[in-house]
Structure 1
Amino acid sequence: MILNVAVIGLGNISLLYDDKKETQTVLSHVKALYKNKNFTLKYCVDIDTTNKIKVEEFFPTVSFYTDISIIENNNDIDIVVLATPTSTHFEIFEKLKKNKNIQYFLIEKPLFDRKHTLDFFDKSIEKKLIINYIRVFEPNIQEFQKQIDTLLFGEPQKIIGTYTKGIKNNGSHFISLINFLFNNPKIHDIKILSSQKGIENDLTLDIMAIVEYKEKQIPFYLIGLDESKYSVFDIDFYFEKAKVRIEDTAKTLTIKKATQDTIYSDYTTLVDTKKVLLDFDNIMKYPYEYVYNILHKNTFQIDFVEHERKNIEFYKHLEQKEFNNE
């Protein structure tokens, strides 16, 4: 059975990041739907019709509307993709929550702004929510999560990440990734060490936090850099028996295992053991594979609402901290 999809909001992530049929990448929702035979784009809704022609190049029969109320009660919608500004999410959910035919909502992060929190959200559709923190869907990162859980590399020792472009804009991907990999760890302490300009009002912060995983407290450092020099998104995980590095620019996950030095026998050094290419050029195809597999009970279901609660908790801790230069 082909699943009917309604895309609400037709900007960068929905279309413009990858709006050419002939390219081999999959970096937008429309391109991902076009490449997956299990889905079809039934409806598009956007107040701006500028991109209507581009969408029709992928799906000539798509119905395009500027008002969501036209489709809110349609019984032929299986999946809703919500890619509008965060401030509009709550209002859209209020319009669509009574439509029992919708099986899942695939939502661009974050779920809500400060005004509309999870406390005001209708609990009846929580299990239908899939929040598109895209790295958690990548198969090699999911495999890494299993390796952490089974302590394949020993107990975690420290986590160090570097990023640019704001603690909420890009830093949120770090927080989400940590919550996914370490099963929503408990936060014991957060300190803001320094701050610099990010994007608009979103500061790029240096942060030190303590998180708890399997009854062990782990220092977590998040280092913000000046985006005017270059963009960066890297994270190093130090374990008892290995170091694992995820590097966005190189699109790699590198494992270095602790090995006795061949010359100096008293030393143990880290040696490259495995380098995996992360499929970030096709990253948008994986949320749809996840949706399809969930519907056919072929994979475990991620608790995205609890995941988002932990993300929000992290930011609440940040807001409560005074600036600390010590």
Structure 2
Amino acid sequence: MLRSMYSGISGLRNFQTKLDVIGNNIANVNTYGFKKGRTIFKDLISQTVAGASASGDVRGGVNAKQVGLGSQIAAIDTIHTGGSTQFTGNTLDLAVAGDGFFQVGQINDGEVENIQYTRAGNFYMDNLGYLVNGEGQLLVGVDGVEVTVPVDPATPDIYEDADIATVTPIDPTTPDATRDALSRISIPTTAQSMSIAQDGKVTFVDSEGVLKYAGTLVMAKFPNPGGLEKVGGNKYQVSPNSGGAVYGEPTAQGIGKVESGFLEMSNVDLAEEFTEMIVAQRGFQANTRIITTSDEILQELVNLKR
């Protein structure tokens, strides 16, 4: 009886964890760039009452007799499927169509530090013209060169003839090697307008009506994005199982293109979450019945002495 009670307790704990994950998913149904979690169970070690035996000349084989001792959490996965995109019309709202993460960090003595990764593309321009997220972390890219090209509506891509930096993909075994290529992107506060192309190139029209190149976004891709660790604020950090970041420009190396004026919504499906919540609730109730039934049987055993 005690064995069945402890099996029921393990089930209660696991379904409580599953409900915690579901609750977090539902709470973030409208969080930009959020990736839902999923709880996976596995059984605990089984107690072998009798071992298996092979068949012989007289008798056939006999299977082992085993009694399970409950369940435990096998994994809590982060599902990195893409969310739907929402049109905002804001130039600095960016969505990634494909794999890849935006990089945000801070600059110390010209070096990019404390890089974190995000799919939430709601960026802003601070008082100095730097592109930042809602927490003030700088959007990482490569600096633009000083290029002045008259704006010609007939040739909107004329800036591509300028000396635009290109980020070369690196060896993933040395993921920090390109960080010395990395910097921040700034737009003059006097700029009349700006645009971000699908390949991550940022341009703006200055106060004199001249088109200038400001820089290119540098994005990151991982061998195992499910291995990234959530650090809050819609951001992730590298873990031992995520693999090193491979850097590149949007549309290259399978990173995906950047859609300006859009935001990626959460990939949480409410219908799925409510269904899973019902299953978890019933599983929790069933395990409480195991405990109460075992308790009633133990009570009957105690009453035998009366």
What TM-score bracket applies, with the shorter chain setting the length?
under 0.3
- Say which one has the larger Rg: 2
TM-score w.r.t. the length of structure 1 is: 0.21
Q: Return the TM-score normalized by structure 2.
A: 0.22
